[in-house]
């Protein structure tokens, strides 16, 4: 099992129960009184993370800690000059950022493959160095239209929203 084949059959059957052995992960505490899986059965959240992050953002918006109409680049200036120029936190929350990005999970090249490599979920080619998400965002410069347009499901938007929340709340700087 490798980062090169974990998403495809028959390897994915094993991989989805052993993601911790393949790439970066973290334990998320649960309520022991209301769980369906046993403690020895980890479950990957994958896109459920988008909903959980949306709930957190909604709470922060309600408490006036996260102004939804604030430009993303005001909070995370590292993405200035990329396709996120002019996008607001609301655009991230609504998946209405006008970014050219194809959410093709089996892509072997292009921005989705680069995204997986930046997250540590794709094997690096010989001679490639890990880049990380911060460097990855600077490569996303192509627009697919104005921000606020049609809903466009883009996983990197969720990671960026997490970065925005860390910066806006100071959570990423606490020790």
Catalytic choice (25, 47, 51, 135): 47
pLDDT of 94-128, one tens digit each? 999 999 999 998 888 899 999 999 988 888 889 98
Q: Is the pLDDT of residue 23 over 60?
A: yes
Active site residue 135: no
**What domains can you pick out in the chain, each with its CATH number?**
11-25+43-173 (1.20.58.710)
Q: Is the pLDDT of residue 142 over 90?
A: yes
pLDDT of residue 175: 40
Q: Is the pLDDT of residue 173 over 80?
A: no
pLDDT of residue 171: 79
Share of the chain above pLDDT 70, in %: 86
Is-contact 42 17, C-beta < 8 A? Answer: yes
Question: Taking the model in full, what pTM does it have?
Answer: 0.76
Is-contact 145 96, C-beta < 8 A? Answer: no
Instruction: Determine phi and psi for 48, rounding to 5 degrees.
Output: -65, -25
CA-nearest of 173, 171, 155 to 65 is: 171
- Determine the distance from the C-alpha atom of residue 85 to the mean position of all C-alpha atoms in its chain, rounded to a whole number: 18
Q: How confident is the model at residue 42 (pLDDT cuts 50, 70, 90)?
A: low
CA distance 153 to 115: 14
């Amino acid at each position: 099992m490798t980062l090169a084949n974990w998403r495809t059959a028959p390897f994915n059957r094993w991989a989805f129960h052993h993601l911790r052995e393949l790439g970066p992960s973290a334990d998320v505490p649960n309520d022991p009184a209301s769980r369906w899986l046993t403690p020895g059965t980890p479950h990957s959240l994958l896109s459920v993370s988008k909903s959980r992050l949306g709930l957190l953002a909604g709470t922060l918006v309600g408490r006036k800690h996260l102004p939804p109409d604030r430009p993303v680049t005001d909070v995370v200036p590292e993405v200035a000059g990329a396709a996120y120029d002019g996008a607001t936190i609301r655009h991230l929350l609504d998946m209405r950022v006008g970014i050219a990005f194809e959410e093709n999970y089996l892509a072997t090249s292009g921005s989705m493959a680069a995204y997986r490599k930046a997250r540590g979920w794709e094997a690096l080619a010989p001679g490639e160095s890990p880049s990380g998400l911060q460097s990855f965002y600077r490569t996303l410069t192509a627009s697919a239209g104005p921000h606020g347009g049609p809903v466009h499901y883009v996983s990197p938007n969720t990671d960026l929203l997490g970065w925005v929340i860390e910066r806006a709340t100071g959570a990423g700087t606490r020790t």
